[in-house]
Structure 1
Amino acid sequence: MNRIDLFKKIQDKKSFLCVGLDTDPSKIPSHLLKTTDPVFEFNKEIIDQTAEFAVAYKPNIAFYEALGPKGWESLQKTLDYIPKEIFTIADAKRGDIGNTSGLYAKAFFETMDFDSITVAPYMGVDSVKPFLEFENKWVILLALTSNEGSADFQLISSQSGKPLFQEVLEKSSKWGNPDNMMYVVGATRGEKIAEVRKIVPEHFFLVPGVGAQGGSLEDVAHFGMNSHCGLLVNSSRGIIYAGNDKDFAKLAGLEAKKLQLEMEKLLSKYL
């Protein structure tokens, strides 16, 4: 899926919602635990109720690989079940020396056929380039994250006097382009989103931190939206764990719809 197709999907659905499938077996409603694959059954019902409002799904790979081979099976079944026109993100945060990154890219782009993968930039260009060699696939590079510890490194000044996250943005934007690279920019740092947007005006941002982590959707749109929207705002816990009984998926759908309606207003306001 290219950038134009993604923007068209946002326009069609009047939404820039990404649903995070961070499926924790300990939080799956008890009636699903009797099925042969509770993780997949949970995801399937969530997808059924939220696909109308979502332009992307983002399974966090840790929740699946922690379960061993069975978890990888659940992940592949989930990926196969997601409607083909919806953008998929492997939230894997990979990044290693070139030949290893090449195999990570092959695993997620060819073997599993995700549209994109989150990548850590710390090892530099040769750890990111292998992911950029796949046509119509995306690297989503960690730039300014929403966790408390992000200040440990991302905000410290480099030799040039710029915060490290700015150096990452300036250098990495030359490795790829707005058609194959996005950036993770946390919603909990509202005013910083504007700084990121100045450096990479055309790129899409994957924005975690709205909802359970306290980020403001209005601030994200105000500081981060560009002429092609340029935003995929993720909500995980706030949607998929909206309920914990047999009506869990219906409640998830209601939460997704609530966010979509807010996004529709913001798209009208800023585009």
Structure 2
Amino acid sequence: MTTTQLIEQIQHKKSFLCIGLDVDLNKIPRHLLTTEDPIFEFNKAIIDATHDLCVSYKPNMAFYEAHGLKGWQSLRKTIDYINERHPEIFTIADAKRGDIGNTSAMYAKAFLEDLNFDSVTVAPYMGKDSVEPFLTFENKHAIMLALTSNEGAFDFQTQQTEGEELYKKVIRTSKTWQNSHRLMYVVGATKAEYFAEIRKIIPKSFLLVPGVGAQGGSLSEVCQYGMNDEVGLLVNSSRGIIYASGESDFAEKAREEALKLQQEMRDIMHLASI
């Protein structure tokens, strides 16, 4: 998917909502555990209930890898279902991969070619040769960790190096890499005040923003500091939507929570004349 197509979806749906499909078998409704593939049945119901309210789905790989082959089968069924039923939706493999040379090339092939995700999250600690292999696929994207929402982010990311914070140096450096126009960046919602500084470096890039909802991030603050004239944001909510209910009405309740966020996003876009 091109960024132009993603922007068109945002404008059409008046939404920049990304829904994280982080399926924990200990949290899904008990009746699904009797089905042949509980993970896929849960995802299918969430997708059917919310696809018109969001522009992106983001399965976190850990929740599938933990179940071995069955988990990967559930993942493939999920991404195939999205691509076949809702090809306009931007898909993110939240894998946070990053290694050098042929290893990154194989990770990229697995997620962007074999599974046919639109994008994959990557870790930049090993530098350009760990990220550039993900940027060779036309109309695909790598979403690079820039400033994360966890407590440990302060261990390294905000430390001063050569007169500026490390996260800024990482973002600046990434702009010099081959096919860097295919880069997006992860910036945590719980650090909303940093968005203005980040926008000085990458004013047009899309930012994937976790941390709204269950982690306490503020959508209005994220938009105040991070939105550009094309929105330029994918704001993710996982637990706050998919686990809104643990009963048989889980999909209906998920839709209600997604609708609340979509309506807030619609209002923010209206005020910004987007």
Q: Report if TM-score (shorter chain) is over 0.5.
A: yes
Among candidates 158, 175, 185, match of residue 155 of structure 1: 158
Unaligned runs of 5+ in 2: none
Among candidates 141, 144, 161, match of residue 141 of structure 1: 144
* CA RMSD between the two structures: 0.9
* Pairing of 1:1-271 with structure 2 (within 5 A): 1-82=1-82, 83-158=86-161, 160-175=162-177, 179-270=181-272, 271=274
User: Per-residue displacement from partner, 1:250-271 (whole Å, max 9, x unpaired)?
Assistant: 0000000000000001111223
TM-score, normalised via structure 2 length: 0.97
Opposite residue 190 of structure 2, the aligned amino acid is T
* C-alpha contact (below 8 Å) 1:178/1:204 kept by paired residues: no
CA distance in 1 between counterparts of 2:181 and 2:48 reads 29
What is the SS of the residue equivalent to 1:188? helix
User: Residues 62 and 244 of structure 1: is their aligned pair in 2 closer, same or farther, counting only changes over 3 Å?
Assistant: same
TM-superposed CA distance for 1:175, in Å, is 1.5
User: Per-residue displacement from partner, 1:31-85 (whole Å, max 9, x unpaired)?
Assistant: 1111000000000000011101010000000000010000000000000111111
CA distance in 2 between counterparts of 1:28 and 1:219 reads 31
Opposite residue 97 of structure 2, the aligned amino acid is R
User: Per-residue displacement from partner, 1:81-124 (whole Å, max 9, x unpaired)?
Assistant: 11111000000000001110000000001110000000000000
CA distance in 1 between counterparts of 2:244 and 2:175 reads 37
CA distance in 2 between counterparts of 1:244 and 1:176 reads 45
Unaligned runs of 5+ in 1: none
CA distance in 1 between counterparts of 2:16 and 2:102 reads 34
User: Per-residue displacement from partner, 1:1-43 (whole Å, max 9, x unpaired)?
Assistant: 1111110000000000000000001111011111000000000
What is the SS of the residue equivalent to 2:77? helix
* C-alpha contact (below 8 Å) 1:178/1:202 kept by paired residues: no
* C-alpha contact (below 8 Å) 1:3/1:179 kept by paired residues: no
Off by >3 Å, runs of 4+ in structure 1: 176-179
Opposite residue 206 of structure 1, the aligned amino acid is L
What is the SS of the residue equivalent to 2:92? strand
TM-score, normalised via structure 1 length: 0.98
What is the SS of the residue equivalent to 2:190? coil
User: Residues 137 and 239 of structure 1: is their aligned pair in 2 closer, same or farther, counting only changes over 3 Å?
Assistant: same
* C-alpha contact (below 8 Å) 1:102/1:130 kept by paired residues: yes
* C-alpha contact (below 8 Å) 1:185/1:208 kept by paired residues: yes
Task: Name the count of aligned residue pairs.
Answer: 270
CA distance in 1 between counterparts of 2:13 and 2:51 reads 10
CA distance in 2 between counterparts of 1:152 and 1:113 reads 34
CA distance in 1 between counterparts of 2:10 and 2:186 reads 18
Give percent identity, aligned residues only: 63
